[in-house]
Chains A and B, each alone.
Chain A
Amino acid sequence: MAGGADRPAHPGRDFAPYRSSVLRHPKRPLVPMGGDPDAAELYGPVFGVTDVTELDADLTRQHQGEPLGERITVTGRVLDRAGRPVRHQLVEIWQANASGRYAHQRDQHPAPLDPHFTGVGRCLTDDQGRYLFTTVKPGAYPWRNHLNAWRPAHIHFSLFGTAFTQRLVTQMYFPGDPLFPYDPILQSVTDPAARERLVAAYDHELSRPEFSLGYRWDIVLDGPAATLSEAALPEAVVSHAALPGSGEDR
């Protein structure tokens, strides 16, 4: 195939410039599972309205006051490899505050904590596979991978598909960040086209007047479940979570 379509989307686990990867990647090749139709991994955990609350998708309203920083909305669709929406599945995010500090005891970066911002959100995708979060733009922050190492601003995402094999944890970046070339975590994705897919687009249509700036970021889950037709999936997996009214205001 031309145009790099065959280049690996995912980072190699043995990317030495990311120092903590050195002792934490397998050296033996993974065992290919092919399309084993019996694998439990072709099915996966499901989530429903009991697993999230209305408050979870708006990270600016989880405390008494308004958090500091540039208010943003981040939205997009979760799709499988066939381009079909991933419906009614769990999307989780976590991020640093506008100053680049996590509400985590072990983050000792001397930037201020924000008493009005924790930086954790969750939602279920709607009938079209859409998610939406209201939050603030996170700050860049330093880390100790190498001298003068800084992470570009990013939001961590955790996603589920209908199959456990589609599980994805990743990071969303903001367009035009000058730190991209210096970040071994982003650069561990060696295909430039694949790196691009980690960067959200500013979308003026999504900006809300006098309220927030809008970013769009679509997510495509990997995994062989995408090659199963919906007809081949058991009824329960396709229709288990027909959520009344989900997504009407997105």
Chain B
Amino acid sequence: MPRPTPSQTVGPFYGYALPFPGGGEVVPAGHPEALTVHGYVYDGGGAPVPDALVETWQAAPDGSLAGRPGSLRRDPVTGGFLGRNGLDFTGFARVATDADGHWTVRTLEPPSGRPYLAVCVFARGLSHHLFTRAYLGAPASSDALLSALPEERRTTLMARQESERVHRFDIRLQGEKETVFLDFTTSHTSDTSGLRHGSGR
């Protein structure tokens, strides 16, 4: 079995390469069912992180996890970006934080079975990306991840509803209210004990 290629930091200069126009607009502005999920990324000193890259992935409202192409739709003539076609729900967003460490994604509500955005965070200074989840609304009491966590840790995964269609989800890389980050890579399929029966440290 081949060994994995190590991760390396995204560095400071991805900004002209990875973000793309409309990267956070999974649904068009003005879509009647659009939800806004937004927040800040903070470092261990409480300072906003202005050079983080946030990606989100989720199930479509109908529950599909198949995804669709077209997030980065391009113009084959000019080589520029066309923007998404507004019809296919790709499930994928990518946004760079602004100078204030703030990011915004506009998307559709994930289905009740998987009521969260899977979030992947990259940053200068972060050698290996971090996964977390932004739960929107009340999750099922049977949710394996949330029920394994003590209350004060669990709250770091719950987006706060600010108004009917606006949810706030801050990401704290370090510190007292450090966000719960998830490890998918070092476990094996046979090992579900960590989540199902673990202490949820």
Q: Do A and B come from one complex?
A: yes
Seen from chain A, the residues whose Cβ lies within 8 Å of a Cβ on chain B are: 5, 8-13, 15, 18-36, 38-56, 62, 79, 81-83, 90, 92-94, 96, 102-104, 106-107, 118-120, 122, 156, 158, 164-165, 167-171, 185-186, 188-189, 193-195, 197-198, 218-224, 227-228, 234, 236-237, 240-241
CB pair A43–B65 under 8 Å, yes or no, is yes
CB pair A21–B125 under 8 Å, yes or no, is yes
Secondary structure call for the B interface:
loop
CB-contacts of B179-195 with A (<8 A): 179-195
CB pair B1–A10 under 8 Å, yes or no, is no
CB pair A35–B5 under 8 Å, yes or no, is no
CB pair B194–A34 under 8 Å, yes or no, is yes
Chain A residues in 8 Å Cβ range of B198: 32
Chain A residues in 8 Å Cβ range of B1: 81-83
Chain B residues in 8 Å Cβ range of A185: 8-9, 11, 127
Secondary structure call for the A interface:
loop
> How many residues of B sit at the interface, in one of the four size bands?
35 or more
- Among A26, A33, A47, contact of B72 (Cβ-Cβ < 8 Å): A47
Chain B residues in 8 Å Cβ range of A5: 3
Chain A residues in 8 Å Cβ range of B44: 22-25, 27
Chain A residues in 8 Å Cβ range of B49: 24
CB pair A223–B149 under 8 Å, yes or no, is no
Instruction: Point out which of B11, B75, B120, B129 has the most chain A C-beta atoms below 10 A from its C-beta.
Output: B11
| Chain B residue at minimal CB-CB distance from A88 | B69
CB pair A156–B17 under 8 Å, yes or no, is yes
CB pair B16–A120 under 8 Å, yes or no, is yes
> What are 26 of the A-B contact pairs (CB < 8 Å)?
A9-B3, A11-B6, A15-B127, A21-B127, A26-B179, A28-B181, A29-B201, A30-B182, A31-B148, A40-B110, A41-B57, A45-B67, A47-B69, A50-B69, A56-B79, A83-B1, A106-B15, A120-B17, A158-B18, A169-B9, A170-B6, A185-B11, A189-B6, A198-B8, A228-B189, A234-B65
Give bound CA distance, A8 to B3, whole Å: 10
Chain A residues in 8 Å Cβ range of B169: none
CB pair B8–A24 under 8 Å, yes or no, is no
- Among A12, A33, A83, contact of B195 (Cβ-Cβ < 8 Å): A33
Seen from chain B, the residues whose Cβ lies within 8 Å of a Cβ on chain A are: 1-18, 43-45, 47, 49, 55, 57-59, 64-76, 79, 90-92, 110, 113-114, 116, 118, 120, 122-131, 144-145, 148-149, 173-174, 178-196, 198, 200-201
Give bound CA distance, A91 to B126, whole Å: 20
- Among A40, A48, A56, A193, contact of B116 (Cβ-Cβ < 8 Å): A40
CB pair B114–A40 under 8 Å, yes or no, is yes
CB pair B70–A50 under 8 Å, yes or no, is yes
Give bound CA distance, A38 to B192, whole Å: 12
Identify the 4 closest CB pairs spanning chains A and B, nearest first: A20-B125, A48-B69, A32-B194, A94-B17
| Chain B residue at minimal CB-CB distance from A160 | B92
CB distance from B21 to the nearest CB of A (A): 13
CB distance from B185 to the nearest CB of A (A): 5
Instruction: Point out which of B8, B43, B114 has the most chain A C-beta atoms below 10 A from its C-beta.
Output: B8
CB pair A10–B181 under 8 Å, yes or no, is no
| Chain B residue at minimal CB-CB distance from A106 | B12
Taking A41-B131, A185-B8 as contacts, is the C-beta distance between A36 and B144 under 8 angstroms?
yes
